[in-house]
Amino acid sequence: MTTRTMNVRIPEALYGQIEELARATARTKSFLAIEALKGYVESESWQVRDIRAGIAEADAGDFASPEEVAATFAKHGA
């Protein structure tokens, strides 16, 4: 796997927590940072996918009819 370097400034307290966790788990700070970033990116990426899909639908003219919108609002009590 090819890697790249990224420098990040973090609060001192967070750095201390990462050091403590690294010692407790016998992992490197880099490993913990990579795992944390992977988790964040995975959990947030759905938003980008959904936005892009919505834009593609709008560009294709795929909109809900006024009746479909009213039925959805009625279904959810709005």
pLDDT in tens, 37-64: 999 999 999 999 999 999 999 999 888 8
Number of domains forming the structure of the chain: 1
Mean pLDDT throughout 14-20? Answer: 97
Q: Does 60 or 1 have the greater pLDDT score?
A: 60
Q: What is the domain extent for residue 21?
A: 12-75
pTM: 0.63
- 3-state SS, the chain, equals CCCCCCCCCCCHHHHHHHHHHHHHHCCCHHHHHHHHHHHHHHHHHHHHHHHHHHHHHHHCCCCCCHHHHHHHHHHCCC
Flag whether pLDDT at 78 surpasses 80: no
Asked if residue 34 is part of any domain, the answer here is yes
Asked if residue 7 is part of any domain, the answer here is no
pLDDT in tens, 20-38: 999 999 999 999 999 999 9
Flag whether pLDDT at 13 surpasses 90: yes
Asked if residue 4 is part of any domain, the answer here is no
